């Protein structure tokens, strides 16, 4: 019972943390709560340790480095090594279909291809040479993206839907976010690769989870453990239930059960994020626009004058062209085709 309770608590905390991170940027209360929590910890943690932590955090999240790329590959290698070493051979002995057993490897190959493309593809860096081209792609809404605004760092006019990335130190066309896992910005020219990478990563985790769970279930059925009885702490005879089966499997195959727990949690997290990214793609929004949407008011735009008593105008997405038009814009970006022809 203790193991199952701890595992469920771990799962609940991970999912809760992920949800809070997703909605934190849209909820001012959570932002204030995080700020107050940081202030409390500043009184507890020694100042020298705070400086070290800030340097490490700045290096990891505010400078371009391959730390998370290497960590990503290590985690992926460990998961597939455990799958190959433990589950694959035992499943072959139980005469599992080779199609299902080799499917995670096929997804891994495709995933690594799109992972590499996401890492190395130019996301749509704005330069003096292509500045005028990007200025003509999207209409300025005069709310979130006003006209005639220059980037003070790059000294370039900012096209609509662009943003300066402080990590990469460049302005990116149709900026979505900077992803530390690929050490690159996600923009107009590599969003398609990022979506395919995320899709194949989610599919590989889910496939491995299904194969592993089916393997454990077949072991339980073949051993007839679920038909047995046991004596509890009070000396009473009890029928084997789900809690007992989980503990039995954990004691018998600890690494496999841990792997199942990891890939199940990972599948839920990646699946939720994938759905969010697909929603943004279908509505022609970026993560940057979604997170700033509720805060983009006309009174913050110095180029738009309005009476003090007038109601503030919230940001509205003016770039949506319907589902298929939005997807075509992501997977066949016009500016990328133009750049290839120019070269």
Domain map (residue ranges) of the chain: 26-62
Residue 326 and residue 282 in contact, taking contact as beta carbons nearer than 8 Å? yes
* % of the chain exceeding 90 in pLDDT: 50
Between 244 and 310, the higher pLDDT residue: 244
User: DSSP letters along 136-185, please?
Assistant: TTS---SSSS-SS-EETTTTEE--TT-EEETTTTEEETT--EEETTTTEE
Q: In this predicted structure, what is the pLDDT of residue 20?
A: 57
Decide: residue 161, CB within 10 A, 0-12 exposed, 13-18 middle, 19+ buried: buried
pLDDT at position 8 is 65
Angle between helices 191-223 and 98-120 (to 10 degrees): 160
pLDDT at 293: 75
Q: Is the full-model pTM beyond 0.75?
A: yes
In the residue annotation, 179 being an active-site residue is answered as yes
Share of the chain above pLDDT 70, in %: 76
Q: Read off the pLDDT of residues 167-210 as tens digits, 9 standing for 90 and up.
A: 999 999 999 999 999 999 999 999 999 999 999 999 999 999 99
Q: Provide mean pLDDT across the span 239-254.
A: 79
pLDDT attached to residue 323: 93
The pLDDT, as a whole number, for residue 155 is 92
Q: Which of 179, 185, 277, 301 is catalytic?
A: 179
Q: Report the pLDDT value the prediction gives residue 50, as an integer from 0 to 100.
A: 78
Measured between alpha carbons, how far is residue 2 from residues 6, 8, 246, 252, 253 in Å?
Answer: 6, 10, 11, 16, 17
Judge whether 327 and 282 are in contact, CB under 8 Å: yes
237-239/229-231 β-pairing: antiparallel
Q: Which of 50-59, 74-83, 217-226, 251-260 has the lowest mean pLDDT?
A: 217-226
For 163, phi then psi, to 5°, come to -155, 145
Q: Which two tokens mark 184?
A: 């690159």
- In angstroms, the CA 189 to CA 174 distance is 9
**Which pLDDT does position 297 carry in this prediction?**
46
pLDDT of res. 299: 44
Higher pLDDT, 166 or 247: 166
Q: Which of 53-57, 159-163, 239-243 has the highest mean pLDDT?
A: 159-163
Give the pLDDT band of residue 250 (cuts 50, 70, 90). Answer: confident
Identify which has the larger pLDDT, 106 or 42. Answer: 106
Question: What span, in angstroms and rounded, lies between the C-alpha atoms of 23 and 44?
Answer: 27
Tokens of 256: 């496999």
- Rounded mean pLDDT of the chain? 83
Looking at residue 284, what is its pLDDT? 94
Judge contact between 221 and 206, C-beta under 8 A.
no
Give the pLDDT of residue 310.
46
| 3-class DSSP assignment, residue 33 | helix
Q: Is the pLDDT of residue 309 over 50?
A: no
Q: Give just the sign of the alpha carbon dihedral 279, 107, 204, 111.
A: negative
Residue 25 pLDDT: 45
How many residues appear in the chain? 343
Is the per-residue pLDDT at 159 higher than 90? yes
């Amino acid at each position: 019972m203790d193991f199952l309770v701890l595992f469920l608590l771990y799962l609940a905390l991970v999912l809760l943390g992920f949800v809070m991170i997703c909605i934190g940027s849209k909820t001012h209360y959570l932002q204030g709560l995080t700020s107050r929590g940081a202030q409390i910890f500043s009184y507890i943690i020694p100042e020298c340790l705070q400086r070290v932590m800030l340097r490490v955090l700045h290096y990891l999240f505010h400078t371009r480095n391959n730390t998370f790329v290497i960590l990503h590959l290590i985690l992926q290698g460990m998961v597939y090594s455990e799958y190959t070493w433990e589950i694959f051979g035992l499943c072959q002995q139980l005469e599992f279909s080779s199609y299902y057993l080799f499917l995670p490897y096929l997804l891994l190959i495709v995933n690594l291809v799109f992972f590499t493309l996401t890492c190395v593809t130019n996301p749509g860096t704005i330069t003096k040479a292509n500045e005028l081209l990007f200025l003509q792609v999207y209409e300025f809404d005069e709310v979130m993206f006003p006209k005639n605004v220059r980037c003070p760092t790059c000294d370039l006019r900012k096209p609509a839907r662009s943003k300066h990335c402080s990590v990469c130190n460049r302005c990116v066309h149709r900026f979505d976010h900077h992803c530390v896992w690929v050490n690159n910005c996600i923009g107009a020219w590599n969003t398609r690769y990022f979506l395919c990478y995320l899709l194949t990563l989610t599919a590989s985790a889910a496939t491995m989870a299904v194969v592993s769970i089916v393997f454990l279930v077949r072991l339980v059925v073949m051993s007839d453990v679920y038909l047995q009885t046991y004596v509890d702490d009070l000396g009473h005879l009890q029928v084997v239930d789900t809690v007992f089966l989980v503990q039995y499997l954990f004691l018998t195959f600890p690494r496999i059960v841990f792997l199942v727990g990891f890939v199940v949690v990972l599948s839920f997290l990646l699946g939720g994020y994938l759905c969010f990214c697909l929603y943004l793609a279908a509505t022609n929004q970026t993560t940057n626009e979604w997170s700033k949407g509720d805060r983009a008011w006309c009174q913050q735009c110095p180029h738009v004058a309005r009476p003090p008593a007038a109601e503030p105008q919230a940001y509205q997405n003016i770039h949506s062209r319907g589902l298929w038009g939005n997807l075509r814009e992501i997977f066949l970006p016009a500016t990328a085709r133009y750049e290839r022809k120019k070269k």
